[in-house]
Structure 1
Amino acid sequence: MSKKYTILDVAKHQQANDCWIILHDKIYDISQFLDDHPGGKKVLLKAAGTDASKQFDAFHSPAVLSKIAAKYLIGEVGPSESSDIVETDEIEDQNPLRVGDAYGDMVPFGDPMWYQDWYSPYYGDSHRAVRKAVRQFVETEIMPYTHEWDEAKALPRELYEKAAKAGILAAVIGHVESEYIPYGLPAGVRPEEFDTFHHMIVADELSRCASGGVTWGLIGGLSIGLPPVVHFGSKYLKDKVVKDCLAGTKNICLAITEPSGGSDVAGLQTEAKDMGDHYLVNGEKKWITNGTFADYFCVACRTGEPGFNGISFLLIERDTPGVATKQMKCSGVWPSGTAYITFEDVRVPKENLIGKENKGFKYIMYNFNNERMGIVIQANRFARVCVEESLKYANKRVTFGKKLIDHPVIRNKLAHMIRQVEATHAWMESLAYQSQQMPQDIQPIRLGGPIALCKAQATQTFEYCAREAAQIFGGLSYTRGGQGEKVERLYREVRAFAIPGGSEEIMLDLGVRQAIKVGAFMGAKM
């Protein structure tokens, strides 16, 4: 139980060797921190013995409290143990606008609408339980360290195992047979009950950390590299790979894009030559998420004729002679381990063929819808983070004698950000529902076009919101770290979502072409 102190108790501690302050009703003894404060000890001594929440919020990110200040926490504001406590009947606060249960901080549009006391047909108690479990994990294990890991361009090894034990790794790749799930799923939801919306919540909540580098570093390669093995691999390959990847002890990545092209999958050039009992692989892959540290590579290779019908998937292991990786220097998503990979005379056993030979293009197309929906979920939560951070900052930053939020131009920016985020989220939920209800065999055809369009919608919304948030934060958004940390990082990462998984131009064109083809086949009068 936290120790209670009154405001008068705190006011007695105002000396350099005995310095207490109050931050958001928590009390900190910062006597040992004075000399380490970047702004000098005098700034802190001015606030000694008082509530310094307003000054703190004006210059610091909330992560400072959980990461640095936590070691100096000694109690909280309240009646002291010696105080006489007057018992009163508790009166429940009845908000006349509330119709159900709200969740989170209730910053307007800072969370999806079903969090904020709105009705929704998609979610039930198990979804709320998963939301709570993943949010707690992210706020405890990820958010306090996001900036540090981003700057280090790497995630700690133990994070993967922690995420595995929380059920998160098993929750981001679609349905997996129970025998391959090492620790269960978030909130203990059974695999047969874990639906599309549970998966969506996990990816959405992870993205609250506001770092594509962290989300991609943790689940990027896994969520697109493991499904081909899960859905099309032999039992031998599943036994070899799946459980270790979901336990966080091994990593896997998807290797399709090459230096010669990305979206033109049919034109890939990496060759896997049939040598009887093995394939001999030669070629290069580029911009491969998690490739720097992956143990397994799910590699698209040419095993047959030019074009769509000559592609196969092979599982290649890192310790196979001839495999080399090098981390690429990209604008953003630094901890994701983006790699340039070379395969030189790599001998791959025939049993490492995923599915059937020359059927790889079908598997790639099957995988693309899930990959693109993952990008939609992350990009739109990043855009929402820009809304949330901007609203909170605009409510405390004062310019020209009034808060930013009181300037019509700022409200106009926020309005345009909000309308795009909410429209994208509604489309995302509709597509998720279709993927849950529609027969699996027709989804690549029926949903491929709309998902492609939604990806372009989500990434353009993300880009718009990142720019507007940067304008609202001003110089703070141009500095790595501090109050504008999330906005600065996200603005840097926009291109990492607008291009991978199919560039916006390709997505927009594909969406219209697919709509025309499907419409004609279904009898559209055009």
Structure 2
Amino acid sequence: MSAKVMKELSLEEVAQHNKPDDLWIVVDSKVYDLSRFKDLHPGGVSVLTNTDIAGKEATEAFYGLHRHEVLERPQYARLQIGNIKGEKPQIISRPPGAISDVPYSEPTWLTQGFHSPYFTDNHRQFQKAMRQFIDEHVYEDAQARDADGKRPSQHVFDKMAELNLHAMRLGPGKHLEGRTLMGGLVKPEEFDYFHELIITQELVRCGSRVYGDALLGGKVIGLPPVLNFGKPELKAKVIPEVFSGKKFICLAISEPQAGSDVIGMTTTAIKVRKGAPIPKDGQEEEIPEGEEFDWIVNGGKKWITNGMFADYFTVGVKSESGLTVLLIPRVEGVETKPIKTSYGHAAGTALITFDNVRVPSANTLGEEGMGIFVILSNFNHERWVMCCGSARSQRVIIDECLRWVSQRKAFGKPLHSQAVVRSKIAGMIARTESVQAWLENITYQMTHMSYKEQSTKLAGQIAFLKTYSTKCAQDTARDAVQIFGGRGITQSGMGKFIEHYYRTVPFDSLLGGAEDVLSDLGVRQAIRQMPKNARL
């Protein structure tokens, strides 16, 4: 199909078309014929006919009400009939993969002229490829799934699998050996936590909190127990299925009664001989040591991310020997029901019930009765990933706010002319920069510590950072709504990302441990490390 030929027009020519049935306007040097469109205008015909824009330059008026993306939609782009002679568009869409030039909308290591002791040239190449991938393959699907609440499209999972992104999201380790990462951009033995930080922070840019979890957030926390504690035969079957994006897994720990009280969980598992009938009295059989057996699981789990579309469930259960962790496939007796949450349905948040579910003893993760160590071993990484996402999502809001206060006029002046508005943005910037700096320092420590060292030295640091980052995020969300006004609580148009952020940001303050719980954890760890001879 041949491209539409655009006329070269003067402002004088445009001015002649200023009637309701013959209505042209100019937006950023482009001429649009709205004669037939005016009755379809979402804001009503009077906005076009009763205001001083018919036949005139309307750029300022347009960007006071609409996002630039509106002009790029096919149904509106086709309304363009020409360009103003001698003028070129000033507002250019950012090409896929590009770095934003809006101040503070990128971490300093990506900002022109700034330096970093942490990020290498390989990290920069990796970030560029990751951003290109998100812009080309993820962003549009994220917006669509945020709107319709469906699971992310399979083609996104498949594209991620081609680059081994599913494997990389679990961090550095032996599971990367022999894999081609990001098309060969980084060697498995050179992949570190800064590469993983980049993956998480670029995913956040899709602008949908629920989609971030839907994009196998359950795998990030549900697969490591299998990877680290599963038997070889189990790992050989499950890990390739999940890394290929063909099957999904989630972590099922929280319960309706117990919540985050892991020790107080009530989901039970009893032993029976392999293939034996389920005992009616619910009593466990005595199984000779070394003999295979079946677990019979009963109970329920709640608020489980990805539970609705998971094929495997990493489940904490109460056994006779104590807390035990099992990998339960979606078999007879496993039922999932959706839970409606304020951040949307795409993540597949579920209530899960287990009714006499038979699980082979080979699916036990770690030792019986030692499940607390299986569960706790993953907490630091889970919380660190949340910090990565929180830090980057706050920059999305800074970007939105700086653009808005520069184009929005109030009382005849740009919004940023008001000191109270500048003060709010100053707080956003200070909070975000401090979160990122602390995050990069902890990430650097992680790259130079063994897993055991991380557990003993960084648990408190990561707990404090998560609490601090989510509190900062909520302050930023509240200030952003004030800056956008009514648009900040509207799920479409100029403030749609602000509304979404304000509505969904409380999730980060709860997942992985509530703020008060984590603050107390950090202090308790600090007290345990106090030297015996410390005195004032």
Please give the TM-score of this superposition, normalised by the length of structure 1: 0.85
Report the RMSD for the aligned CA atoms in angstroms.
Answer: 3.4
8 Å contact kept, 2:200–2:389? yes
Instruction: Give secondary structure in 2 for the equivalent of 1:477.
Output: helix
Work out the CA distance in 2 between the residues paired with 1:234 and 1:31: 69
Tell me which residue corresponds to 1:488: 499
> Which structure has the larger Rg?
2
Tell me which residue corresponds to 1:59: 65
8 Å contact kept, 1:171–1:185? no
Structure 1, 291-300 or 167-176: larger mean CA deviation: 167-176
User: Structure 1 pair 317/33, CA: closer, same or farther in 2 (3 Å)?
Assistant: farther
Matched, 1:280 2:296: yes
Aligned residue type for 1:201 = I
Q: Deviations over 1:297-353 (max 9, x none)?
A: 111112244xxxx222211111x1110111111122432111111111000111211
Instruction: Give secondary structure in 2 for the equivalent of 1:292.
Output: helix
User: Structure 1 pair 52/144, CA: closer, same or farther in 2 (3 Å)?
Assistant: farther
Tell me which residue corresponds to 1:303: 319
Shift, 1:397, TM fit? 0.9
Q: Deviations over 1:235-259 (max 9, x none)?
A: 2222222222222221111111111
Tell me which residue corresponds to 2:209: 212
Shift, 1:360, TM fit? 1.8
8 Å contact kept, 1:181–1:243? no
Aligned residue type for 2:407 = K
8 Å contact kept, 1:311–1:361? yes
Matched, 1:105 2:100: yes
Aligned residue type for 1:312 = T
User: Structure 1 pair 478/282, CA: closer, same or farther in 2 (3 Å)?
Assistant: same
Match of 2:121 among 125, 132, 147: 125
Work out the CA distance in 2 between the residues paired with 1:161 and 1:114: 30
Work out the CA distance in 1 between the residues paired with 2:173 and 2:31: 46
Shift, 1:223, TM fit? 1.0
8 Å contact kept, 1:21–1:30? yes
After TM superposition, list the pairs within 5 Å mapping 1:60-459 onto structure 2. 60-65=66-71, 68=74, 72=78, 104-117=99-112, 118-158=114-154, 159-175=156-172, 177=174, 184-185=181-182, 188-276=185-273, 277-305=293-321, 310-318=322-330, 320-459=331-470
Tell me which residue corresponds to 2:42: 38
User: Structure 1 pair 514/8, CA: closer, same or farther in 2 (3 Å)?
Assistant: same
Which runs of 5 or more residues in structure 1 are unaligned? 81-101
User: Structure 1 pair 509/184, CA: closer, same or farther in 2 (3 Å)?
Assistant: same
8 Å contact kept, 1:315–1:354? yes
Instruction: Give secondary structure in 2 for the equivalent of 1:325.
Output: strand
Q: Deviations over 1:121-168 (max 9, x none)?
A: 111122112222222232233334544322312234323223333443
User: Structure 1 pair 502/50, CA: closer, same or farther in 2 (3 Å)?
Assistant: same
Shift, 1:59, TM fit? 2.1
Instruction: Give secondary structure in 1 for the equivalent of 2:530.
Output: helix
Aligned residue type for 2:63 = D
Aligned residue type for 2:396 = V
Aligned residue type for 1:513 = R
Work out the CA distance in 2 between the residues paired with 1:12 and 1:231: 72
Aligned residue type for 1:104 = I
Aligned residue type for 1:447 = L
Instruction: Give secondary structure in 2 for the equivalent of 1:393.
Output: helix
Shift, 1:76, TM fit? 10
8 Å contact kept, 1:325–1:340? yes
Instruction: Give secondary structure in 1 for the equivalent of 2:309.
Output: coil
Q: Deviations over 1:412-462 (max 9, x none)?
A: 111111111111111111111111101221211211111001000011011
Please give the TM-score of this superposition, normalised by the length of structure 2: 0.83
Tell me which residue corresponds to 1:98: none
8 Å contact kept, 1:390–1:472? yes
Q: Deviations over 1:206-257 (max 9, x none)?
A: 1112221010010311111111112222222222222222222211111111
Instruction: Give secondary structure in 2 for the equivalent of 1:336.
Output: coil
User: Structure 1 pair 264/481, CA: closer, same or farther in 2 (3 Å)?
Assistant: same
Work out the CA distance in 2 between the residues paired with 1:474 and 1:249: 44
Work out the CA distance in 2 between the residues paired with 1:23 and 1:180: 53
8 Å contact kept, 1:256–1:285? yes
Shift, 1:389, TM fit? 0.9
User: Between the two proteins, what is the percent identity of the paired residues?
Assistant: 39
Instruction: Give secondary structure in 1 for the equivalent of 2:116.
Output: coil
Instruction: Give secondary structure in 1 for the equivalent of 2:493.
Output: coil
Which runs of 5 or more residues in structure 2 are unaligned? 87-96, 274-292
Work out the CA distance in 2 between the residues paired with 1:76 and 1:223: 50
8 Å contact kept, 1:208–1:382? yes
Tell me which residue corresponds to 1:8: 9
